[in-house]
Structure 1
């Protein structure tokens, strides 16, 4: 089995710890445990006592009943048997693809998007057709193109909603059209749903609430500001969930007792966390938009209050070279578009803390002046 280098992860693994102004990430400024308990107005001692009194065995293999119940509340008609805890959304995506894809299968994947969605199926021997997103259409893919790509033997359609790196959110009516096409050939639809639009979270619709053969993956890393807890989940119909259970035993025994307790607490208090993050995202999005209006060498299709954006750079050199020079000379980190097969672009994570965002944007503008 051969697989391509994971572009964005390889770049961040190499450079993120050397950045002074990291405006590359696609998550919302991470919370500390102290901040979490301040937001929830809870004495942390009760939680600490719970940890101290819990045996450090394997715990609940698929996630505790409390964790599963909290996940179920994120969907309309999901019950705990349909929920499996995973090692982040990356673990959930891998589990779905590893469980479903065999050599010769036909897969359609939104592109560019999170690299797992097309390169893992390729590595498993599938024929992967890329369903391109278009900057001229606000980074939306075309339903007509999907109709041209789909085949009678299409097994899986992969989406990233909202998209990484562009932040584009696929609306309900669009997803309903995808579902109708998938139904026509009995294909599954896998959607990585880690990015929640925090301006109107109630309007987000999950694929499992639209389609019986939909598969939703998610985690606490992005909209919940806790990538360090490394907990995610996968939700599907009962038949698929049973299939995933078998493969899950080969990839992940458990999430860990402490991680499960913390993940459950985070989900129990999600509305307080979302409110904190909503204020941060909307404030930073306004700062970002105002900066764009004053920066002649950068443009962007703005995201809908999700935590990632894709800027277009008007520069005479390759964006990968530009981003490396930028980091080495100013300490500002972006992810070059080459990591997403989007040369001329870069991922800009505007949902860091406000001070880092402002300092990073100021230095980015100063660096760009050499091309005027």
Structure 2
């Protein structure tokens, strides 16, 4: 299996240098938090040789409790971020030549790891004209008993579209009927703007849910995510992969994640105010600029706006100048396999004044090119 760096990683803000970006609109999370926000003292924390390989017990118990009724601790395995969880699922379930169904656009790991393994991939394309909705009739037509799993993200990254509960249940019925699995990347689930879906893995033992504390809680630096699945045999297989990668997780990181999730209710209420205010600002910006349109996101912290495709713009130069002249940095469409007139714009990481200034820079930059 040969892996390559994805564009989103090779061109990320940490590569550009945060010090070189004035208005960072490429981030897909809420604002970063500090250790001071946790209010926890770590000096007395023991650092034993090893711990439960599935993850710190009290952290798994808390994740299970917050996932809904009848969720058992054994349904949860802690990983080094959601990206590691997604890699573990692919590494465990897929071999070269296996068939998999993936919605696109999607987070890079959901696509590039199966590609590196050499899978036969059928993409369910999400497009602007259909408001980035999943074509479930088409999905049903391409899933067979030979399909290893169906992979989707909800809310979607980068466009913020969501499934309804009825749609999610219909997809679960499709995978159950074919005796395959459904992988749901739920990294942004708690940031639904209106209707919060249940954790998908609570609905069927054929569903694998993946999430993390990075995006919703603003603590990406501790690298804590998890896999949620009711199938004990499958969880054991996932553990085998984890043990080959890291044996167990960092006690420091898992302690910080535990303290973070203890404050979930207060933190999420605060975050949702920022998210909805940021979305309102982007909505007003789109309405004011005739060269920009979007599909209003239903969840998460990003939208997938697009510049009028009829404009004659050199987008490589456009993004270069956007950063150098206006200090604004966005996620160009090629990060997600789309043309470069699409942009992922994050609206919850910056303070609202910086968000407005960054958006204004995009509009000014467009006018400079036409």
In the superposition, the TM-score normalised over structure 1's length comes to 0.92
Size of the aligned set, in residue pairs, is 362
Greater CA drift, 146-155 or 64-73 = 146-155
Instruction: Indicate whether 1:351 and 2:348 are aligned.
Output: yes
Alignment match, 1:92: 85
Q: Structure 2: any 5+ residue segments left out of the alignment? A: none
1:199-278 aligned at under 5 Å gives the runs 203-237=196-230, 238-278=232-272
Give the one of 162, 175, 195 matched to 2:168: 175
Checking the alignment, whether the CA contact within 8 Å between 2:321 and 2:365 is kept in structure 1 is no
Alignment match, 1:365: 363
Greater CA drift, 75-84 or 54-63 = 54-63
Q: Deviations over 1:304-338 (max 9, x none)?
A: 24111111112422544422221122211011101
Alignment match, 1:65: 57
> Per the alignment, do residues 202 and 60 of structure 1 end up closer, same or farther by CA in structure 2, a change over 3 Å counting?
farther
Alignment match, 1:15: 16
2: CA distance between counterparts of 1:197 and 1:296?
32
2: CA distance between counterparts of 1:298 and 1:59?
51
Give the one of 301, 325, 331 matched to 1:335: 331
Q: Structure 1: any 5+ residue segments left out of the alignment? A: 38-43
Q: Deviations over 1:8-67 (max 9, x none)?
A: 111104325221110111111111222x24xxxxxx3xx31x443423544443221110
1: CA distance between counterparts of 2:128 and 2:269?
30
In the superposition, the TM-score normalised over structure 2's length comes to 0.93
Alignment match, 2:94: 101
Alignment match, 2:34: 32
1: CA distance between counterparts of 2:194 and 2:53?
30
Per the TM alignment, residue 129 of structure 1 is displaced from its structure 2 partner at its CA by: 0.9
2: CA distance between counterparts of 1:371 and 1:296?
14
Instruction: Indicate whether 1:317 and 2:319 are aligned.
Output: no
Alignment match, 1:156: 149
Say which SS state the counterpart of residue 55 (structure 2) adopts: coil
Say which SS state the counterpart of residue 28 (structure 2) adopts: coil
Per the TM alignment, residue 115 of structure 1 is displaced from its structure 2 partner at its CA by: 1.6
